[in-house]
Structure 1
């Protein structure tokens, strides 16, 4: 069964296609019954846009879909979700079995809703000026490049900050002007509106496709076509923050106030329309509110251990402060993106709710001049073939499901809209639950959400062979061209009796299941105190194996079906990954990694959990290699792709030949080709990826080799060094995959015997 083909049809990947009929049997199956859903995925066989309003059921509000039964004679259609009977609207009067509308043929359709056009999207750029002159120059060049990439009708504003916040005037002026607000003061939203003399956008928001912001807001928010000269002039005149910085202190930064001002600017003038706050940060906030570290350089930024032991004095207050900004942005439907360019942390961990709840992006790099920032920033503003931004705004997603199941929650870049119903689980909650509708302040073709469900049908209920369950995803959003769209994906899945384990087992998608469990693990780690996540994962894996594996009298007789054979390996790598292991990772790095795990599609998320490894040598073409230390050979080159960084690793002999310059001799053309092949492949991988992956070149026994070794299975370590001679080894106490699998087989067999 090719699960990728199913994904290309509807943007859906289910953990299992066939579910046990009863709640009891579903609980015993261990794996979460859930889906990875990409609302705006570019699908292969989707019909053209439907330019009319969708037809909904009068009882349960689900939309017309291929699983509805049509009775042309009585002019009614029957809803598969609630069995309600609905009249066929007049516009469908010609409907018949040989003349069906698109929504009765395709499981995924997209409507262009007949509504007035929305104004062009707005971007408020927030620039940190507490950086070196060279870094500030590069940041300003990137901003000028950004406004040259987006459509000319796009609305922009500029806010710069250091010790204080400067809101720059872009309209109705012949000279450079700005409003200055104190950076150490906690302004309310109303305070900011009063100080900047901001009005509320009126009902006549659009004239000729252009936004009309009232009164004071037009001084700050202007279309690029009208303010490009002024925007450029402001940037050219913008200097490093003039406030003096003592030698042993950090600059005074007011990150919180700058973001608060930017959000207030959009709240007052762009409420309900697509907009983003794009922050370029060069260091941590050092002023209240939002402060994460003292001014003194001797005061180091908090670590995971400090936060866990409550030794981070500013942590709780900063989190609370940034949460208020996130709530305001969500209520207005606006997004916050953070581009962090610093060798030190900048407080991403405290401000993660601003990004994750609003559907924004984290991008981290060492400096504004680093290719990771420059390339990512350029890709962020890349337009599609139609010349429009490749993103949607002001979205919402509603899930409908048949009465045998309830919605447990969603994990991803969403926020709850607090709309409950009979299809919402009251007992089980995963991620953002307690609702059947979520806000997506922004989304793009890669945004992927995890929807978790609970089977509520009782074991004693009657079961009908061939009965289906139904789930419908309804995503409404503002397209970058100003039109309003509604994409509807409807899925039907088979039920089976709990005793029919083979049917459930054969329908499991191990890749989707692994990512769904990984997201659930991260959510539990962040939201449940004193939770032993590794023990929980191990218990789940043991129960899954005892349920679906086949056993014999010996451990060697243990086997899993082909579609589950790699699942234990995924869990082994997840246990060792940066998503659950925080040792040697800063809180900012953890926030960055987890943010992408919770928003990328199944393929990319699985790549983060279990990277791919390709081996290159002179005797054979490139081929996949085991993610194991034994794959390191002195005469081969390895290419490791972890999504976040790509490594080209030369074996010891190859590295010696390269250092000796043999590849520059024409008679060793084969060596030159071998050295170039993985670099070319790495470049092609990085070029298409957002965020731009870090590129690392490493040699065996070199300092950069640690990035590769950290991801390899330690089948050869110092514990068995004497058995392998000169073979590369890993100095670690971690158990190898073989030891892990032996323990798993033993525990699973014991679980079966004790049950």
Structure 2
């Protein structure tokens, strides 16, 4: 079954593409949750756009006209397939017939985009929140990047500036005689009403007043001048203390300003942070350098002094931004932690970006920042603002919830299940920021009773309705309607298993596991993954009881256990050697990417380059490492070129510069070209590493591969078999053997 076709045309992939007809059968057979990965802004070359509003069903479902509706052309009526409501076509559909149909009724147009014929709203707002507690060289690199961005932002889009260190400064860009700003104390309590009292009435601060937010083409010169003159925070601190940063206060001023000036208007609060908050609300560590910032161990043992209170504070900031439809982005650039762990919910709730880099002068920040402003084929930004996703399901099907960067709208319609998974109890979610990679996991359940016979030739239907403001200020509604067949309970099991998509299933399970990390112990989550995997393979593998040698797993289930093996070992569930900020970033990214990108995170890809032919994919194991080859590892977060010991010696000897060894020079260039292609497309920009066998940075590869050759099983040690990994971790072969053993015993 072609699972990729639905992703190419509609941006949708399901874990199961054929469904049991009752709740009981689904519980017995669907041992991976029934779910879908949906990318609302997926760009298909076949996408149809129409310049009129959608036609909605008058019934309770509120679904939109789609190819699965039945129409009675002579009577100018249509029947909604979701609630079976009969609807009358409006007068402007008077020419409809079996031959002349509107675009949304063509069977191949399962995704259609409506541009609402309303007055254009204001173009999106970009409010920069800049940390000035940085070293001079870092502050200059940051302001240079912000100046560059002014040429990438749409000319009529509104821009604002806030800086923070020991105090918060809000710049009045509409006053051009000289730089003018309003100052807020960093350690004082703050309320939104304080902003109104200090700056004037909400009416005098509205968007059209062009006081604090000004169109980019009108303030470019003035804002550039301000950015060039920004100095490091004047409040000096001694060498044994951290710089004063009132990060929480800066976010509060930014969110309150936009809430007062531009509620329900597309906006991004783009924050650039180079260190942890050390004063005021949202503090994550004290000023004294002798006081270390919290670790995973501190959090687990309840010794993180500020974390819980800071998390709640930033979460409340996120909820405030959601109520006005504004996204919050964090660009964290520091060798130390800045508090992403505490601030994560603020970004997740609003659908913002999160970028983690070493410095503002590093390509990881600069390239990632530029990619946000990448233009589409029609020269518009590939972004959506102030969005909402509604899910409508047909009879016998209910939505349990969703996992992704969104927040619940609390719309408990008839298609909402009592069984909540992720953000549940609703059929509608708010998403303040969208881009072409924003992907959401939706979970469903079969609600039909076991003794209730399905109508013959019926199908299950799901409709995703996404409303958003595009970068040009237009209001857009994108509608995707998908259909899947029911499988009769008495049909051979192969009818169901042929619809199993093991790649999507692995990603849906990974998102569930990450969602559980908020409230459950990591050991319990790993046991749950193991239990679910054993149940699945024992149900669908062919074997004789108690005979492990007879075990055989069909092709469309065969690599699912490998995904689970790598997920268990990944940075998403293992926190050893990672800070809380790094773990938060890794989990954040898995919760926003599509299936293919998520799989690279779960099970990285490995390419091998040798003199014997073109590069070829390699198994992610220690036996793939050899002295006379080059490996290209892509973990999504890292792109690493690993040269074998012999290759490294030849390169250091300069053989690649000798014309007689052109083939060696070509071998060195090939992985660099492929790595450059990955770096060009990836967001955020990955860490790029070149290393040699036995070097310190080779640890990035050794920590990722399957440790099938270790100091205990390679005796006497033979380097020709591959790289020896010093670890006590279980390798893939042992993992699969244990899995088979438990499966045949079940």
> TM-score of the superposition, structure 2-length normalised?
0.97
Counterpart CA distance in 1 for 2:520 and 2:458 is 37
**CA positional deviation for 1:125:** 0.3
- Equivalent position SS for 2:543: coil
**Equivalent runs, 1:565-604 vs 2, <5 Å:** 565-604=558-597
Of residues 656, 671, 677 in structure 1, which corresponds to 2:649? 656
Which sections of structure 1, spanning at least 5 residues, go unmatched? 203-211
**Structure 1 stretch displaced more, 55-64 or 345-354:** 55-64
Counterpart CA distance in 2 for 1:240 and 1:557 is 69
Q: Per-residue CA shift, 1:314-363, capped at 9, x if unaligned?
A: 01110111011101100000000000110000000100011111011111
**CA positional deviation for 1:198:** 5.1
Tell whether the 8 Å contact from 2:607 to 2:631 is kept in structure 1 after alignment: yes
**CA positional deviation for 1:531:** 6.6
Counterpart residue number, 1:64? 65
How many residues are matched?
739
Of residues 474, 477, 487 in structure 1, which corresponds to 2:465? 474
**Equivalent runs, 1:209-228 vs 2, <5 Å:** 213-215=207-209, 218-228=210-220
Counterpart CA distance in 2 for 1:633 and 1:545 is 34
Change (3 A) 1:10 1:226: same
**Equivalent runs, 1:418-433 vs 2, <5 Å:** 418-426=410-418, 428-433=419-424
Of residues 159, 164, 168 in structure 2, which corresponds to 1:165? 168
Of residues 370, 374, 383 in structure 1, which corresponds to 2:375? 383
Counterpart CA distance in 1 for 2:399 and 2:183 is 48
Tell whether the 8 Å contact from 1:22 to 1:497 is kept in structure 2 after alignment: no
Counterpart CA distance in 2 for 1:478 and 1:256 is 28
Counterpart CA distance in 1 for 2:200 and 2:664 is 67
Counterpart CA distance in 2 for 1:451 and 1:665 is 57
- Equivalent position SS for 1:535: helix
**Structure 1 stretch displaced more, 188-197 or 120-129:** 188-197
**CA positional deviation for 1:6:** 1.7
**CA positional deviation for 1:243:** 0.2
**Structure 1 stretch displaced more, 143-152 or 386-395:** 386-395
Counterpart residue number, 2:625? 632
**CA positional deviation for 1:460:** 1.6
Whether 2:703 is the aligned partner of 1:744: answer no
Of residues 427, 431, 441 in structure 2, which corresponds to 1:440? 431
Tell whether the 8 Å contact from 1:111 to 1:485 is kept in structure 2 after alignment: yes
**CA positional deviation for 1:214:** 5.0
RMSD over equivalenced CA pairs, Å: 1.4
Q: Per-residue CA shift, 1:255-281, capped at 9, x if unaligned?
A: 100111111111111111100000000
**CA positional deviation for 1:692:** 0.6
Counterpart CA distance in 2 for 1:488 and 1:405 is 19
Q: Per-residue CA shift, 1:264-302, capped at 9, x if unaligned?
A: 111111111100000000000001310111111111111
Counterpart CA distance in 1 for 2:73 and 2:376 is 42
Counterpart residue number, 2:685? 692
**CA positional deviation for 1:530:** 7.6
**Structure 1 stretch displaced more, 48-57 or 228-237:** 48-57
Whether 2:326 is the aligned partner of 1:334: answer yes
Tell whether the 8 Å contact from 1:201 to 1:270 is kept in structure 2 after alignment: no
Counterpart residue number, 1:77? 78
Of residues 315, 333, 344 in structure 2, which corresponds to 1:323? 315
Counterpart residue number, 1:209? none
**Structure 1 stretch displaced more, 575-584 or 1-10:** 1-10
Counterpart CA distance in 2 for 1:552 and 1:58 is 52
**Equivalent runs, 1:542-561 vs 2, <5 Å:** 542-552=534-544, 554-561=547-554
Tell whether the 8 Å contact from 1:127 to 1:161 is kept in structure 2 after alignment: yes
Counterpart CA distance in 2 for 1:530 and 1:643 is 23
Whether 2:240 is the aligned partner of 1:245: answer no
Counterpart CA distance in 1 for 2:375 and 2:46 is 23
Tell whether the 8 Å contact from 1:201 to 1:269 is kept in structure 2 after alignment: no
**CA positional deviation for 1:4:** 1.2
Q: Per-residue CA shift, 1:406-459, capped at 9, x if unaligned?
A: 111011111111111111111x11111111000010111111100001111111
Counterpart residue number, 2:454? 463
Counterpart residue number, 1:21? 21
**CA positional deviation for 1:49:** 2.4
Change (3 A) 1:682 1:315: same
Whether 2:6 is the aligned partner of 1:6: answer yes
Tell whether the 8 Å contact from 2:711 to 2:717 is kept in structure 1 after alignment: no
Counterpart CA distance in 2 for 1:200 and 1:735 is 64
Counterpart residue number, 2:386? 394
Change (3 A) 1:531 1:627: closer
Change (3 A) 1:358 1:201: farther
**CA positional deviation for 1:380:** 1.4
Tell whether the 8 Å contact from 1:465 to 1:496 is kept in structure 2 after alignment: no
Tell whether the 8 Å contact from 2:460 to 2:483 is kept in structure 1 after alignment: yes
Of residues 597, 601, 605 in structure 2, which corresponds to 1:612? 605
Q: Per-residue CA shift, 1:18-39, capped at 9, x if unaligned?
A: 0111111211221110000011
**Equivalent runs, 1:168-567 vs 2, <5 Å:** 168-197=171-200, 199-200=202-203, 213-215=207-209, 218-426=210-418, 428-499=419-490, 500-528=492-520, 532-552=524-544, 554-567=547-560
Q: Per-residue CA shift, 1:449-488, capped at 9, x if unaligned?
A: 0000111111121134432111100000001111101000
Tell whether the 8 Å contact from 1:151 to 1:387 is kept in structure 2 after alignment: no
Tell whether the 8 Å contact from 1:150 to 1:382 is kept in structure 2 after alignment: no
Tell whether the 8 Å contact from 2:54 to 2:65 is kept in structure 1 after alignment: no
Counterpart residue number, 1:47? 48
Counterpart CA distance in 1 for 2:369 and 2:46 is 32
Whether 2:106 is the aligned partner of 1:113: answer no
Whether 2:724 is the aligned partner of 1:729: answer yes
**Equivalent runs, 1:673-688 vs 2, <5 Å:** 673-688=666-681
> TM-score of the superposition, structure 1-length normalised?
0.96
Tell whether the 8 Å contact from 2:522 to 2:573 is kept in structure 1 after alignment: no
Tell whether the 8 Å contact from 1:408 to 1:425 is kept in structure 2 after alignment: yes
**Structure 1 stretch displaced more, 218-227 or 637-646:** 218-227
**CA positional deviation for 1:82:** 1.2
Counterpart CA distance in 2 for 1:146 and 1:613 is 35
- Equivalent position SS for 1:743: helix
Tell whether the 8 Å contact from 2:74 to 2:97 is kept in structure 1 after alignment: no
Counterpart CA distance in 2 for 1:671 and 1:552 is 52
